[in-house]
Amino acid sequence: MPDFTKSKLAWSLTWDADWVTSVAFLGPTRRVAAGNNLGQILVWELPDQVGSPAPKPILRLDGHSNVVSSLAATPDGKTLLSASYDHTIRYWDGAAMAAPSETIPLNAAAIAALKGRSGKIPALLEAKVGIVKPSRTLDAHREWVINLDLARDGTTFVSGDDAGQVIVWDREKATIRKQWKVKGWAYAVGLSPDKKQACVSERYPVVFDSARHAGVKLWNAETGELIRDIGEPFKKAYLSAAAYSPDGKLLALGRGGETETAKVALLDPGSGKLLADLTPGHLNGITDLAFHPDGKHLASTGRDTVVRIWNTESKKLVAEVGKPRGGQFKDWLHALSWSADGKWLAAADMAGAVQIWNFA
């Protein structure tokens, strides 16, 4: 098992076309994919060793026309799923190979921002990438698809949109197994490992974060019937992230929004009972949660640009990576993904990069 106290920022993969909003390792491969606010998706092939030169992207996945809100890959890495504000979910060949055919800039925004100022202008970073088209497009959603969660066996996933539509999909057949509607935006969704339960956090469309935003419920993913409302402990903040542990015995929820301190909550998904609030909390809202493959550790991140790693058995903070960089309106880390071997962690950085940490 990796030593979480010995972390190293292996690479900061520059990509400043816009905010980087989503990230996913592709199964057991060395590939990592990231999406941004423009609907673009890039794929990198990471070196095996820390200290190797930072890689450049090898592929661009073309198809989305709006924010890529979520990425998830099947355990074998052969299929990548993407959800977008363009109302679609798309499938991509995770093992795709395409001859380099288009040159893209990687730090053009940074250079433009520095023009006219004193000091040295960095050299333009470019990469020649192959272009890949989606293998399948799902268009059952009629509004922004805000999130999706893929079951750990890769056979089933759940998606939610800002019209409150929740859909449970057969991933292989690309067909709808069950769907239902909630009152607010289906803002954060999670699917239990046995695919029998779905957690849906609702966010209501009001200007300021308040109790009116709060709403989190557990649903029977097979029948679409409500199991229970577990929103009572979360009345003062909406839930921005949900993740089930690999064994299904824990449900982690992240408080989002512009709260002063946002904590990770651990619940028993069977009873809905709140087991613990993990402290210290993140400053100004959590954006994503990701269980480590060992099932005993959880990573959390948010608007404070810090990643915290927790032991979910002891409920203690094990390690912290990254540093605060100036506040919630300057930098966020939007999303997290662990590699299959648990030794690497990727983060989608609002500042225009994909951060890759290694754990010895």
pLDDT digits (tens, 9 = 90+) for 113-152: 888 777 788 899 999 999 999 999 999 999 999 999 999 9
DSSP secondary structure code for residue 112 in this structure? H
- 């030794």: which residue's tokens? 343
Q: How far apart, in whole angstroms, are the C-alpha atoms of residue 228 and residue 270?
A: 10
Helix (H, G, I), strand (E, B) or coil at 13: strand
pLDDT band at 205 (very low <50, low <70, confident <90, very high): low
Q: What is the CA radius of gyration of the chain?
A: 19
Share of the chain above pLDDT 90, in %: 82
> CB count, 10 Å around CB of 16?
21
Inform me whether the pLDDT recorded for 212 exceeds 80: no
**Residue 325 reports pLDDT greater than 60:** yes
Averaged over 323-334, what is the pLDDT?
A: 74
Residue 143: Cβ within 10 Å count: 14
Confidence label for 90 from pLDDT (cuts 50, 70 and 90): very high
pLDDT over threshold 70, residue 192: yes
- pLDDT for the residue numbered 329: 58
φ, ψ of residue 142 in degrees (nearest 5): -110, -5
**pLDDT value at residue 211:** 40
Q: What is the pLDDT of residue 203?
A: 87
3-state secondary structure of 358: strand
- Answer with the residue of higher pLDDT: 211 or 99: 99
Measured distance CA(257)–CA(284) in Å, rounded: 7
Q: Percentage of the chain with pLDDT > 70?
A: 94
DSSP for residue 162 = T
Please state the rounded mean pLDDT for residues 224-249. 91
Q: What is the pLDDT of residues 145-154, one digit of tens each?
A: 999 999 999 9
Helix (H) or strand (E) holding 219: strand 216-220
As a whole number, mean pLDDT of residues 258-272 equals 89
Q: Round the average pLDDT of the chain to a whole number and report it.
A: 93
What digits encode the pLDDT tens for the residues 32-63? 999 999 999 999 999 999 999 999 999 999 99
Confidence of residue 283 (pLDDT cuts 50, 70, 90): confident
Cross-strand partners of 295:
none
